[in-house]
Structure 1
Amino acid sequence: MCTRVFWNDNPIAKVTSRCMDWEVSDEPELWFHPRGLERSGGSQSDAATWRSTYSSVGLSMWNIGTSDGMNEKGLAAHALFLDDIEPPTGTGAPTITVELWVQYVLDHFATVAEVLDHIDDVQLIAPPIRGQYMGAHLALEDPSGDSAIIEPINGELVVHHGKEFTVMANSPDFDEQLANLARYAPFGGDLTPPGDITSLDRFVRASYFRHYLPEPTNIAETVAGVFRVTQNAAVPPGAPYSDGGVYPTWWHAASDVTNRVYYFWSTLSPSVIWVDLAALADGTELLALNPRLDDLIGDVTGRLASAELAY
């Protein structure tokens, strides 16, 4: 399904790309969220409530929550599907639904370390979304190159924290992904990269091609580099995979956390678009754009228009 790749050891910029793979389109909308928005962690009685500290830009999934985004401080967060999650329960902390996890993080924190310092402030829950179970794990990165993977497993939030954790896919859990990766060159084993599109194979292949990315000379090459890697892990729409575990790729996004520019590329379009969050950061108006419009290309910062908060 989805794959995330963080390129944090090049001399130009810290940049991430992720792709969104699902059975049907998640109908993404591109949002700018200003500071000071009043929010809730869901409709449940013990839901967390807060006022956003930081402005952010990101993509919504079916207009019920944020699946991917970056805030004005350069902290980026990415929710990818993870099967059979078991978050901690009975902690007494206010709750947030899994679809609001990304936005909660972007609204509150400036760095990966800050997120981890406050990891127990809320309790994650995973109610059905549109009648379907939707588990997730979270990838984080910031302009220092720091990275973390957070997985709700067996009643705990399991954290892998460090600049070395640059790739994430889907199930199995991250420890199993790392153990499998160690069977391949140049990560400790001698196997060559696999060619399938299962989560295990995508994790290895993304790690492999990220490892061999040539040093970029400018920001365009840097962003193109991470896009190339997630494209290699993507599934073209129409591919004949019907076992329920592999779905087509609907879009790619890239977060330049150094320069605060957010990119989007629909797989139904030949054109990449981007939003300059640094230019929008002090704005006070909620803005939105359908990023799948046929006429969009290049910098669309000025195309975002006034909108009402959907979630």
Structure 2
Amino acid sequence: MKDGVHVYDDTVGIMINSPDYPWHENNLNNYLTVTPKQHEPVNWLGKELHPMSQGSGNFGLPGDFTPVARFVRAAYLKNFMPQADDEYGNLIKAENILKSVNVAKGAVVTETDAQDFSCYRSFMSATSQTYYFATYNNQRVRKINLQSLTDLTEPKIFVVDNHEDILDITNN
């Protein structure tokens, strides 16, 4: 920021670049009524009104590609998605959260006419020391086991094995 670097305690576990983190945390208060459950029918002026379809509890959840909307969607999903029991389940949860805030080419054009888009998604497991990633042009999740990269002075060639759900490209 103009006055220097600011470090914040990330209490909801969502990283963001703009506006500052405390603003986003405070903004979540605007979404207290958003829920994964259906709204109940209500009576207005003697007429019973019913939700139009599934997802009525999500009404008000922002759908644009601003950092504000993406932060809210990521926090919503992180809060309401079931907890995973293992690394693979956590990877699937993280992948679905990030896919919900992914920016496709053409959706956002900068003031210099450049296309702003999500060029990759990545995940890291501190427990297994595995780095997972998917690029814009190859959405398949691949992984590198960082424990196998003990000698970083030697160049590594990664080979893709196409027979796993998650590709392991670590050269052992």
- Fold in common (TM above 0.5): yes
Aligned to 1:108: none
Matched to 1:261, the amino acid is T
Q: Distance in 2 between matches of 1:172 and 1:204?
A: 13
Aligned twin of 2:119: 250
* 1:160 aligned partner: 8
Bigger helix share: 2
Q: Kindly provide the amino acid, as one letter, of the partner of residue 259 in structure 1.
A: S
Matched, 1:302 2:149: no
1:171 aligns with 2:18: yes
> Greater relative contact order: 1 or 2 (C-alpha under 8 angstroms, separation 6 or more)?
1
Q: Which secondary structure does the structure 2 equivalent of 1:275 belong to?
A: strand
* Map 1:131-280 → 2, pairs under 5 A: 154-155=3-4, 157-161=5-9, 164-185=11-32, 192-239=60-107, 241-244=108-111, 247-280=116-149
How far residue 210 of structure 1 moved from its aligned partner, in angstroms, is 0.7
Give the drift of 1:251: 0.8
Q: 1:9-20 maps to which residues of 2 (within 5 A)?
A: none
Q: Which runs of 4+ in 1 moved over 4 A?
A: none
Q: Per the alignment, in what secondary structure is the counterpart of residue 182 of structure 1?
A: helix
Name the SS for the 2:8 alignment partner.
Answer: strand
2:74–2:98 CA contact under 8 A, matched in 1: yes
| Alignment deviations for residues 124-174 of structure 1 (CA, whole Å, 9 cap, x no partner) | xxxxxxxxxxxxxxxxxxxxxxxxxxxxxx13x322125x24102221111
Task: State the distance in 2 between where 1:185 and 1:262 align.
Answer: 34
Name the CA shift for 1:197/1:263 in 2 (closer, same or farther; >3 Å): same
Greater fraction strand: 1
Helix, strand or coil for the counterpart of 2:143?
strand
- Quote the Cα distance in structure 2 between the aligned partners of 1:170 and 1:246: 18
Task: Provide the secondary structure at the position in 2 that maps to 1:210.
Answer: helix
1:253 offset after TM fit, Å? 0.7
For the residue of structure 2 that corresponds to 1:231, the secondary structure is: helix
Larger-Rg structure: 2
C-alpha change, 1:225 and 1:186, in structure 2 (3 Å) is farther
Note closer, same or farther for the CA distance 1:246–1:212 as it changes in structure 2 (3 Å cut): farther
- Secondary structure of 1:249's counterpart equals coil
Query: In the superposition, relative to structure 1, how do residues 178 and 246 fare at CA in structure 2: closer, same or farther (>3 Å)?
Result: farther
CA contact 1:206–1:232 (8 Å) conserved in 2: yes
Does the 8 Å CA contact 1:265/1:271 hold for their aligned counterparts? Answer: yes
Identity, in percent, stands at 23
CA deviation after TM superposition for structure 1 residue 277, in Å: 1.0
C-alpha root-mean-square deviation of aligned residues, in Å? Answer: 2.9
State the distance in 1 between where 2:154 and 2:28 align.
42
Q: 1:289 to 1:183 in 2, by over 3 A?
A: farther
Q: Structure 2 vs 1, CA of residues 194 and 284 (structure 1 numbering), >3 Å: closer, same or farther?
A: closer
Counterparts of 2:161 and 2:121, CA distance in 1: 15
1:283 aligns with 2:130: no
Q: Which runs of 5+ in 2 are unaligned?
A: 35-58
Q: Aligned residues, how many?
A: 143
The alignment partner of 2:18 has SS state of coil
